[in-house]
Amino acid sequence: MNLIDSIKAKAKLINKTIVLPEGEAERTLKAADKIIEEQLAKIILVGDENIIKMATKKFSLNHIAEAEILDPSTNKYRQKMIDLLMEIRKEKGLTYDEAFELTKQPLYLGPLLVKMGLADGEVSGAEHATGDVLRPAFQIVKTAPNSSVVSGAFLMILKDTTYSEDGLLVFADCAVNPDPNEQQLAEIAVATAETARKIAGIEPRVAMLSFSTKGSAQHSAVDKVKKATALAKLMNPNLQIDGEMQADAAIVNAIGQKKAPGSKIAGHANVLVFPDLNSGNIGYKLVERLAGADAIGPVLQGMAAPINDLSRGCSVDDIVNLVAITANQAV
């Protein structure tokens, strides 16, 4: 069974409820239909009920009737949501009128349903930029108790298995933090190892990437990665992690042994933690395009409940897969 099939099989067993705030969009509706047909999760669609019903007919979707619809214009949870928003955001100066307006916005309704316990997770972003999806989630669902930073990991499924764990590598942060400090980078490393174990089903060996391997170059950017590696070891003493190291030293055995002799990670890493978002985002896109890898994610980690952001170029199957992953994260 491949990775996605096993993630879907688990989603089927646990039968979580996932909210899709872009419920009027064609790709979301087609994905929801498939998710319900395959019994991967229970679905809440946010959107105008009439538009959803018309689209259901137009695209001959046979299973959407089983989804719950939350229409922002008639929102039956409005007062509870206003009260919740006022409670969560009162220190930030949110007024009643502003809270009222937010309860009409689908990208706020998703995280609100999660916070109220009416959904186990949210998937959106097929029609919106990452920041617009993440901001309401950060404000309402917030970070998990032992976490101060949310980051985005990609499960990279490679055709060539030479430099990976049976064709699988986990990359982070490729989606959220433009320039994490050493503490944040350490947290990202620990969280990514957890994602590798829980979602990808592999025993993580984490390489902290840099343009330097074990002091081959001196720069404040290298020092950041060194300090983050030490902090991550303090946060989780059992974590198999090493750095700083270059990408080739991380995944090519002969180069790893030459540049970082004695390292148990060098040459064998299956989790690659990038020093900043420039390198992480560029890195995953290059591997996706040049190596023809499937890039699954970003899987957001560090949030108090699973909220995941799609790429605007996503396919129906990408939405289905991310819903299955989100359901797995909700366990």
The residues of the shown chain that bind ligand ACO, judged by CB under 6 A, are 92, 130-131, 134-135, 138-139, 143, 149-150, 175-178, 281, 298, 311
**Nearest distance from residue 107's CB to ligand ACO, in Å?**
12
**Nearest distance from residue 262's CB to ligand ACO, in Å?**
34
**Nearest distance from residue 290's CB to ligand ACO, in Å?**
16
Q: Which is nearer to ligand ACO, 58 or 135 (CB)?
A: 135
3-state SS, one letter per residue, for the chain: CCHHHHHHHHHHHHCCEEEECCCCCHHHHHHHHHHHHCCCCEEEEECCHHHHHHHHHHCCCCCHHHCEEECCCCCCCHHHHHHHHHHHHHHHCCCHHHHHHHCCCHHHHHHHHHHCCCCCEEEECCCCCHHHHHHHHHHHCCECCCCCCCEEEEEEECCCCCCCECCEEEEECCCCCCCCCHHHHHHHHHHHHHHHHHCCCCCCCEEEECCCCCCCCCCHHHHHHHHHHHHHHHHCCCCCEEEEECHHHHHCHHHHHHHCCCCCCCCCCCEEECCCHHHHHHHHHHHHHHCCCEEEEEEEECECCCEEECCCCCCHHHHHHHHHHHHHHCC
**Nearest distance from residue 197's CB to ligand ACO, in Å?**
21
Q: Which is nearer to ligand ACO, 76 or 92 (CB)?
A: 92
**Nearest distance from residue 200's CB to ligand ACO, in Å?**
17
Q: Which is nearer to ligand ACO, 154 or 163 (CB)?
A: 154
Q: Which is nearer to ligand ACO, 246 or 308 (CB)?
A: 308
Q: Which is nearer to ligand ACO, 36 or 108 (CB)?
A: 108
